[in-house]
Amino acid sequence: MLAKKTKYAIIALVRLAREYRKEPLQIATLAAEEKIPKKFLEAILRDLKNAGILNSVKGRYGGYYLSQDPETVNLATIIRLFNGPIAFIPCVTYLYYESCDVDKEEEFCGIRTFFKEVRDAAVEIFKKATLAEIIRREDALRASEKTVD
Amino acid sequence: MLAKKTKYAIIALVRLAREYRKEPLQIATLAAEEKIPKKFLEAILRDLKNAGILNSVKGRYGGYYLSQDPETVNLATIIRLFNGPIAFIPCVTYLYYESCDVDKEEEFCGIRTFFKEVRDAAVEIFKKATLAEIIRREDALRASEKTVD
DNA sequence: CAAATGTCTACTAAGTTGGTAGATTATATA
DNA sequence: TATATAATCTACCAACTTAGTAGACATTTG
């Protein structure tokens, strides 16, 4: 399951994507409006800045803002950053590769093939899930809700 | 990532599936041959018995054996038993349903749709991954290795 | 200078993971 | 019936992770 940190990161980023190219947003405002513990959010935003996804301005009227186009930031990146690898087992992982400790003869591992299928499917879907696409889906859902009544 | 307990469970089950309809296998033998800590394996096998997947005989020449056809036991069941839900977020989970604490207006949640896609893809693949199918893939890999040389 | 705001280090309580120890119960068979 | 064999059960533990919190410090604007 996703760590809360990852969830908070996604929520904060979607919000910051909605403010793309506007004034920077302050930690305190973001924390209050998205109901995220302020000090916890602080650490999350710092990580996102260190990862090059956000930028910040200090001092009065400062805050955080998205430093990349919302079309290019996707869930695969965010999940890897806060939650670790997307795969269920290390021997099918991108960037975190380790051989299965349990099974030295990896090439014979019939279990592995299924986990690789799952990982590949998940990565493909998460890569399509850009901040821009998430916002489009949210807006579409909101609109269809209104037309229903 | 998969807990070690889940990995061990899968390995033990694949082995027991290979012995299907033969003599029961003892914890000690299974532990030694599959390199699983004996006392840890003990707890795993008990859980599998309580879940109705294994049966056991006590006393001399006793041990554990698969009580279901290897064609009907799949990774989705095993992962859920030891690792919890397959989904990344609770609001798209089968049997463990909870609403997103972070977002009361679930129907508006654009993030959710992606996680649901991933979960559905994963469940579909894991359901096809029966013990029998894992063994077939293992044997196929082994055979193709031998023909290559 | 003062207020607002991000940055950094350190701490902590609760829960999970990956085990281990040891006593008990059931059964086959000599 | 005794004995060895094996599963069963309860309890414990160390290390790690998660979800925060506290408080001092640095930087910028007005």
Tell me: pLDDT of A70 over 90.
Answer: yes
Q: Where are the beta strands (DSSP E) in A42-99?
A: 54-57, 63-66
Tell me: pLDDT of B97 over 70.
Answer: no
Residue–nucleotide distance: B40 CA to D11 C1' (Å): 15
Q: How many helical (H) and strand (E) elements, i.e. helices and strands, does chain A have? A: 6, 2
* Distance between CA atoms of residues A129 and A120, nearest Å: 14
Long-range contacts of the stretch B50-57 (C-beta < 8 A, 24+): B51/B81, B53/B13, B53/B77, B53/B78, B54/B16, B56/B24, B57/B24
Strand C: which bases are under 7 Å from protein Cβ? Answer: 3-9, 17-22, 25-29
Residue–nucleotide distance: B28 CA to C22 C1' (Å): 17
Nucleotide nearest to B39 (CA to C1'): C20
Taking Cα atoms as reference points, which of B54, B63, B69 lies closest to residue B130? B69
Say what the pLDDT of residue A104 is: 47
Tell me: pLDDT of A103 over 50.
Answer: no
Using DSSP, state whether A35 is helix, strand or coil.
Answer: coil
**Is A8 within 8 Å of A39 (Cβ atoms)?**
no
Give yes or no for CB of A70 within 7 Å of strand C: no
Average pLDDT, chain B: 90
Average pLDDT of the segment spanning A111-140: 96
**Is B88 within 8 Å of A2 (Cβ atoms)?**
yes
Half-sphere CA count of B69, side-chain side, radius 13 A: 2
Tokens found for residue B103 = 């977002």
Give yes or no for CB of A49 within 7 Å of strand C: yes
Say what the pLDDT of residue B88 is: 93
pLDDT band, residue B104 (cuts 50/70/90): very low
User: Which residue's structure tokens are 């760590």?
Assistant: A3
How many other CB atoms sit within 10 Å of the CB of residue B60? 5
Q: What is the largest CA-CA distance in chain B?
A: 61
Say what the pLDDT of residue B109 is: 84
Burial (CB < 10 A; 0-12, 13-18, 19+), residue A104, is: exposed
pLDDT band, residue A143 (cuts 50/70/90): confident
Give me the residues paired with residue B63 across strands: B57
For chain A, give the percent of residues with pLDDT over 90.
79
| Chain A residues lying within 8 Å of B113, measured CB to CB | 137
**Is A91 within 8 Å of A99 (Cβ atoms)?**
yes
Torsion of CA A92, A97, A102, A105, to 10 degrees: 70
Yes or no, beta carbons of A85 and B117 under 8 Å apart: no
Tell me: pLDDT of B92 over 90.
Answer: no
Tell me: pLDDT of A95 over 60.
Answer: no
Yes or no, beta carbons of B90 and A142 under 8 Å apart: no
| Chain B residues lying within 8 Å of A113, measured CB to CB | 137
Average pLDDT of the segment spanning B116-135: 97
Say what the pLDDT of residue B129 is: 98
pLDDT band, residue A94 (cuts 50/70/90): low
**Is A119 within 8 Å of A85 (Cβ atoms)?**
no
**Is A45 within 8 Å of A10 (Cβ atoms)?**
no
Taking Cα atoms as reference points, which of B14, B30, B15, B40 lies closest to residue B63? B30
pLDDT band, residue A93 (cuts 50/70/90): confident
Tell me: pLDDT of B103 over 80.
Answer: no
A and B: number of Cβ contacts within 8 A: 108
